[in-house]
Amino acid sequence: MIKRNDILLAALFLILAAAGFFIIQSFVKEGSYVRVTVDGALQGVYPLDAEGTYTIKGYDGGYNTMVISNGQVSFSEADCPDGLCVKMGQKSQVNESIVCLPHRVVAEVCEADEKAEFDAVSK
């Protein structure tokens, strides 16, 4: 038999979960650009508001096809053995990235003021 205190505790957990969700969502920012690196070297910076399809030449002769559409970036094709980068879906929020390990390609969504900067690890 469910007691009154059990219902209150469950309601409290639901309220806390909903509040946490809305707090996290308030900090999410939409990106402006995609910064593409291959083996740590900057290959290009592409705006998310300009639709297009780009072929990224990866490490050791591989390739990835990057698609920018509706303010989101995704990889539609890759000749790597596992194809996990294609399965990563569309990204549009700051600090989201798509990574192809066999080709050493990283496509990271960034803000407008970050588009040409490197982080502390890059050389």
Output the pLDDT for position 120: 41
Phi, psi (degrees; rounded to nearest 5) at 121: -90, -30
Q: Which residues 6+ apart lie within 8 Å of 17 measured at CB?
A: none
Structural domains of the chain, ranges and CATH numbers in brackets: 33-114 (2.60.320.10)
Output the pLDDT for position 121: 44
pLDDT tens digits for 71-107?
Answer: 999 999 999 888 899 999 999 999 899 999 999 999 9
> Whole-prediction pTM value?
0.71
The stretch 105-120 carries a mean pLDDT of 71
Q: What angle do CA 100, 104, 110 make, to 5 degrees?
A: 75
